[in-house]
Amino acid sequence: MGGCSSTPKQPVSVSEVAIHVRTDMHIYTPENGEVSSWSKLMVAIDSADIVLLGELHDHAVGHAVQLAVVVDVMDTYPQSVLALEMLERDEQLLVDDFMESVIDAKAFASKTHSNNWGGVGSWAAWYQPIIDAVKDRGGSVVAANAPRRYVRLAGARGYARLDALPNERRVFVDYPKHLSSGRYRQRFWELGSQDDSGEKAEIDVSTIDPNDPKLPAFRSMQVWDATMAQSVVSARPSISNKVLLLVGQFHVEYDGGIVQEIRSRMPSASIVVVSVQREIPDEDWMGNSTKGNRPPIADFMIVENK
């Protein structure tokens, strides 16, 4: 007899998480380590042009927090824009078709190959409800990321190869003038690196050897950073018409690559960075000025109250 197969467990929808995210989460301002509140977060966002919502891709409660932020912002600033790492620039026509009801949500997810973006069934459970909230409130949605084929191309053959693309394809991708520095670069090189005690080893990456085996991957990462940053800037963020970006935490934490790229491209922008966590991070999330002015994890850190 053949073995039985089981249907993969579907993720908890953002509308069904067993927590009231506006009142039951721990919210901190990491720069000073103080406990904050949802109302203080929204006051800070009121003065911002850009809101970067750093996520763990498989965290249902984190996506519920994102939905709550997006709803509260869109209710007050209905012309605001939602940008997503999960959608690539060459999918913008499909985004527009969905927002204008040319196609439905099922066709949208299918045509963008997004059904299982963050795990089996994740799109319908986590991302589509956030997009629906923007659509229902008259906002706009931007496919912010670079197509993966160009990200891989940059890593393997360098940024000059991107410049060689025909104009009609070159518009889908950006790259930085200079590679991001500071704690962001250091954390990237520390990934997978441990000292003899099993602790992550601190690595000096103030300069990078052109033959460093991690450089191609970092170059690719920075294509994501620069493309998403330019997508945000191109949406013309302002106090009254904000741009909110849903993105993986690593890109925005500790003065991350996207933050550095936005500042380079729009120095006047007021940015609020929010990092949503399952639990308090082990690393020094409050920052440490005695270690080279190491920045805090974000402007606000929201942690699941377990």
Torsion of CA 161, 167, 173, 178, to 10 degrees: 60
For residues 305 and 292, what is the distance between their CA atoms, to the nearest angstrom? 32
Is the predicted pLDDT of residue 4 greater than 50, yes or no?
Answer: no
- Is residue 16, in this structure, part of any structural domain at all? no
Name residue 149's amino acid: R
- Is residue 102, in this structure, part of any structural domain at all? yes
- Is residue 3, in this structure, part of any structural domain at all? no
Confidence of residue 208 (pLDDT cuts 50, 70, 90): confident
Q: What percent of the chain has pLDDT over 90?
A: 76
- Is residue 2, in this structure, part of any structural domain at all? no
Weakest mean pLDDT among 1-5, 9-13, 299-303: 1-5
For residues 7 and 287, what is the distance between their CA atoms, to the nearest angstrom? 44
Q: Which domain holds residue 47?
A: 26-303
50: domain CATH number is 3.40.50.11550
Weakest mean pLDDT among 13-22, 98-107, 163-172: 13-22
- Mean per-residue pLDDT for 46-58? 97
- Is residue 8, in this structure, part of any structural domain at all? no
- Is residue 15, in this structure, part of any structural domain at all? no
3-class secondary structure per residue, the chain: CCCCCCCCCCCCCCCCCCCCCCCCCEEEECCCCEECCHHHHHHHHHCCCEEEEEECCCCHHHHHHHHHHHHHHHHHCCCCEEEEEEEEHHHHHHHHHHHCCCCCHHHHHHHCCCCCCCCCCHHHHHHHHHHHHHHHCCCEEEEEECCHHHHHHHHHHCHHHHHCCCHHHHCCCCCCCCCCCHHHHHHHHHCCCECCCCCECCCCCCCCCCCCCCHHHHHHHHHHHHHHHHHHHHCCCCCCCCEEEEEEHHHCCCCCHHHHHHHHHCCCCCEEEEEEECCCCCCCCCCECCCCCECCCCCEEEECCC
- Is residue 64, in this structure, part of any structural domain at all? yes
Is the predicted pLDDT of residue 2 greater than 50, yes or no?
Answer: no
Q: How many domains does the chain have?
A: 1
For residues 222 and 151, what is the distance between their CA atoms, to the nearest angstrom? 9
- Mean per-residue pLDDT for 205-213? 87
**pLDDT tens column, 97-114:** 999 999 999 999 999 999
The mean predicted confidence, pLDDT, of the chain is 91
- Mean per-residue pLDDT for 37-48? 97
More confident: 266 or 205: 266
- Is residue 20, in this structure, part of any structural domain at all? no
Residues 6+ apart with CB under 8 A from 52: 244, 245, 247, 252, 258, 259, 271, 272, 273, 274
